Amino acid sequence: MEFSFSSSASKIVHSTAFTSLESGDALMIGVACLLVYLAIWKKFEPLLLLPMGFGCLLANVPMSMMASTDTGGLLNFFYQGIKHEVLPPIIFMGVGALTDFGPLLANPTTLLLGAAAQIGVYMTLIGAVFLGFNMQEASAIGIIGGADGPTSIFLASKLAPHLLAPIAVAAYSYMSLVPLIQPPIMRLLTTEKERKVKMEQLKPISQTVKIIFPVAVTIVCCLMLPGVTPLLGMFMLGNMFRESGVTARLHETAETHLINIVTIFLALAVGSSMTAESFLRLETLKIIALGLLAFAFATAGGVIFGRIMCKLSGGRVNPLIGSAGVSAVPMAARVSQKVGAEEDSSNFLLMHAMGPNVAGVIGSAVAAGVFLSLFGDASTSMDTHAALAPIIGNPEPGMQAVATVVEAIKQ
């Protein structure tokens, strides 16, 4: 090799990213900066959107080898943790370690509010099919209405990996917008009298019940919808660490440094999948629109079902807690509290809204499980993968190539 000054200079010039920077890359760098801005100055789920935006920035520097499709690159390595569904369940374990099911156990019928809020998922599914997405894609888009980040990522990586980036961005952005999106809908769909309903104090719950509950949920839900076991099972394991009282060390690690480490890797990986190719499409706009629809309908579904429960209970349930059924813990519950307190400052809905709030987490996990039962079987996912390989790249060629080769030789 020759290294004269001029040949080297020319080599350096040609290796700068400027020479291959296309308008799409530049636009995506702008999108990345926007996400970082929203995270820091607008406090939009900063723990996720800051590293996600930064990952997007790195991925869109041409030749940086930081896109999720750059085999051998750093962020592709983290991306494997999403692709193989390792990172979202670990996050969910941490969320479980942070979750108190007490309010839900004290008032179990609020689980129905968590179910009702899933109506947003299905309205969006129908809307997505109407806009031309296929059923798997539509399911992955619909789950945005569940307002649950890890669940959205988990399902998207299984059913529609090529849409992972816009789905994740939409999910986390709208989760941050819960305090803006929900209140007008809540006020629109309730009467002043209903908003002033005061709820009875929650019964205290035996610690034993709190310990048995996660095991019971795991057995009941996972047997019915086995596809959701990685997510729901790990969620409940984290909660066991919390409630059992004998695993304080593991509890502390799961809810602090382990979830933090995994959050960094997950968010970077999601950001790295936000390339111009995968993000700057008409589909992204559709998904962003559908996501807003999803949140609005989820809120409406919860509130309307809250009104029904209000009626049936003879006015002992404040329908404002219904909107908390969307997940987005604890933001949605705080919104219920705030809207309630605006009407009557002596009205304390926060703890009552925590019930539907954590029910919403279970609800969207169950919704994901239903989709996995319907669309997640092996053959479909294989087909999906093969179909998408040209788009999303094929980061796991080893195994499959071996299989192919072995087949070829056998013949």
Partner 1 sequence: MEASVSAAVSVSALAMSVIFMVLIILIFTIKLLVKLIPYEAPPAPPARKVSAASSQPEQDDQVAAITASLAAHMGKRPDEFRIVNIQSR
Q: Please report, as residue ranges, which positions from 49 to 108 form the binding site for partner 1 (by CB under 8 A).
A: 104-105, 108
Are 375 and 136 within 8 A, CB to CB? yes
Indicate which of Na ion, partner 1, its own copies, none lies near residue 206 (CB less than 5 to 8 Å, by partner kind): partner 1
Q: Which of 146, 214, 227, 301 binds Na ion (CB under 5 A)?
A: 146
Q: Please report, as residue ranges, which positions from 279 to 318 form the binding site for its own copies (by CB under 8 A).
A: none
Q: Which is nearer to partner 1, 30 or 108 (CB)?
A: 108
The yes or no reply on residue 256 touching its own copies (CB under 8 A) is: yes
Residues 6+ apart with CB under 8 A from 147: 117, 171, 174, 175, 178, 295, 298, 326, 327, 328, 332, 360, 364
Residues near partner 1 (CB under 8 A), total: 75
The yes or no reply on residue 327 touching Na ion (CB under 5 A) is: yes
Cα–Cα dist 138/375, whole Å: 11
Q: Which is nearer to Na ion, 325 or 376 (CB)?
A: 325
Minimum distance of partner 1 from residue 184's CB (angstroms): 19
Q: Please report, as residue ranges, which positions from 311 to 350 form the binding site for its own copies (by CB under 8 A).
A: none
Q: CB pairs under 8 A, 24+ apart, for 387-396? A: 388/161, 388/162, 391/162, 391/277, 391/278, 392/68, 392/69, 392/161, 392/162, 392/278, 393/68, 393/69, 393/71, 395/68, 395/69, 395/71, 395/76, 395/79, 395/80, 395/83, 396/80, 396/83
Can you say whether the dihedral through the CA atoms of 297, 299, 302, 307 is positive or negative?
A: negative
Are 185 and 155 within 8 A, CB to CB? no
Q: Please report, as residue ranges, which positions from 370 to 399 form the binding site for its own copies (by CB under 8 A).
A: 370, 373-374, 377, 380, 397-399
Q: Which of 27, 135, 205, 308 binds its own copies (CB under 8 A)?
A: 135
Residue where the block lists tokens 């929203």: 38
Indicate which of Na ion, its own copies, partner 1, none lies near residue 323 (CB less than 5 to 8 Å, by partner kind): none
Q: Which of 76, 263, 318, 364 binds Na ion (CB under 5 A)?
A: 364
Minimum distance of Na ion from residue 326's CB (angstroms): 5
Q: Please report, as residue ranges, which positions from 171 to 230 form the binding site for its own copies (by CB under 8 A).
A: 211, 215, 218-219, 222-227, 229-230
Indicate which of its own copies, partner 1, Na ion, none lies near residue 260 (CB less than 5 to 8 Å, by partner kind): its own copies
The yes or no reply on residue 146 touching its own copies (CB under 8 A) is: no
Residues 6+ apart with CB under 8 A from 207: 243, 245
